[in-house]
Amino acid sequence: MTHRPRRHHSRRRRLYRDKSRGWIGGVCAGISNHLGVPVFWVRLLTVLPLLSPLAPIVFLCYVVATLRIPLEPESLYQNQEEEEFYRSIQSAPSATFGELRHTMRELEHRLRRLEAYVTSPEFDFEQGMRDEARIRPVR
């Protein structure tokens, strides 16, 4: 009998009900968070079938979803910035990674300039002058 390792999925990728943005049970808001689409469209796709003969089925599905989908934990994100970052990854991953790539390039450029300065003869000269000024007091 072989033991297959269990896959651990991030708690952030789970489907949760979002009571803070929800109107009734938070199901539509939770689905919009999970899919990365505006909540308006999820609500519209939920309400339109209620105007048809499918209303009892849609109502029953909504009630079941309210009972089965857990509420979003309050400690899911450490702060507002982290929440916005993860929501942006879900809604526009290429844009988010583009911003990260740009930030990393800027940091690399700054680090290269710093390394060039620290390894330059001017840095050694300025360090020598500072050391000399500390050793000999000005008269």
**pLDDT tens figures, 89-133:** 665 666 767 788 888 999 999 999 999 988 888 888 888 888 877
Q: Residue 77's closest CA among 9, 7, 11, 8?
A: 11
3-state secondary structure of 89: helix
pLDDT at position 4 over 60:
no
Measured from the Cβ of residue 30, the count of other Cβ atoms closer than 10 Å reads 26
pLDDT band at 85 (very low <50, low <70, confident <90, very high): low
Q: Which residues are paired to 48 by β-bridges?
A: none
Q: Residue 72's closest CA among 9, 8, 32, 19?
A: 19
Q: What percent of the chain has pLDDT over 90?
A: 11
- pTM equals 0.49
Measured from the Cβ of residue 22, the count of other Cβ atoms closer than 10 Å reads 19
∠ CA 26-31-34, nearest 5°, is: 125
